[in-house]
Structure 1
Amino acid sequence: MKKEFAVIGLGRFGGSICRALSEEGMEVMAMDMDEDKVNGYSTIASHAVVGDSTDESVLKSLGIRNFDHVIVAIGDNIQASILTTLILKELGVKHITVKAQNDYHEKVLSKIGADQIVHPERDMGKRIAHNIISNNVLDYLELSDEHSIVELVASRRMDGNTLIDMDIRAKYGINIVAIKRGKNIIVSPQATELIHQGDILIVIGADTDINRFEKNLVDE
């Protein structure tokens, strides 16, 4: 069965999620107080509704508790975001993801029970910063405050060495969970796997260990 999603707030972030979910064939209800924004998604989402998400009766009338996942993507109105999340929790929504504006907003959302809290601008800023700082970093995904998954390009220094030759796990405390080589992906590579210059290494570990690995083995 298809999962049913509701996206509340159709700014850039909410609109992007709505469009992406719809393109994946999901059932999506798009909701916003701005009629023009709602009209813009009437042909994209399964349902597009003009409504105030801080009004419990409105959410009840839409059967919001029956949705598998509700994304609260309200823009600058932190009060509306918090109140909407609180009502959704009280109505028993299964899973709630909320866009946070700042750390204070995140703390409040966490206390009232948001299942997942995202900082799209901050997270994208970090990804772009990592790409700018190093020519070897292709992508970056923060797992926690101290751990990440990073895509690194293998340098000439690594060419022709195996994972065991470089003793990466013991020396750096990180794991190479996959290697992309052209169109092929090697998942959970063996210790005897030869690394070639230009391979894309998908690395998981603590940020400090990944940085150490990058400086010692990847940077030219």
Structure 2
Amino acid sequence: MIRLCSALTLLFLAPAATAEGLLQLSFKGAIHAEGGSPVSIEVGVWDAASRAATTIPMDLHLAEGTTAHDLAVVVGARLKRRGAHVVLPLEGSVGRGVVHLFVEDATHVSLRLGGGLWGTVTSCEAAPEQVRFLAPQVTKDSAEIHIGVSIFHPHTKQRGREDLAFEAESALGAARLSELLTAMSIRQGFRADRPSPEGWHAARMADGSVVTGCSVQVLSPDADWGVEMILGTPFVAGDPSVPR
């Protein structure tokens, strides 16, 4: 199970520092490993009543043939049972390939798939406070990492998008991946930094554009790569204080 460090846990639990927003989880593929394969998902959601974040972990062993839709239904049901506001996939989405879940008031997500399943995590309303990649543990193979962001320039009112893509070898650690991604994104015009030795953050472009959403996809269906995302403060056009 991907466990966030204690410092990040404090960030999730502190009301003044915790941001929450709309999270999209996208799943594709099916477990093809004979005997099944482990997956790990953790979602944090903000509880306004208690003014605290609730962490909902799921460590699952999935049987051969389990599809992306099967996983989305189970994850959605678990989240709803714990009080999360979730938009479940429609019945008609079976067989469409990619299946989506939307989670309101999410604070963070941790996703480790593999065995034939892969996924995308998306912060729909803001630049993430931090993204962190974890190398595979069970089946070790390289991965193609794709990051796509939406941008908005507060002065020209122009919208656009930017992409980052690179191949990651399984032997690379989280700190080295953070270093490589930060250097690459700076070369491509992002104002990027490393909020932790293993993290990546980019909320603005060099031209002043603001990142208003971010999708992170790890393409390696067999290897169990992990990705963690801490959501940021939702972007509000005209508010110069957002994002931080």
Same-fold call, TM > 0.5? no
Pair member with larger Rg: 1
- TM-score, normalization by structure 2: 0.27
**More helix as a share of residues:** 1
Relative contact order, higher structure (CA 8 A, sep 6+): 2
**More strand as a share of residues:** 2
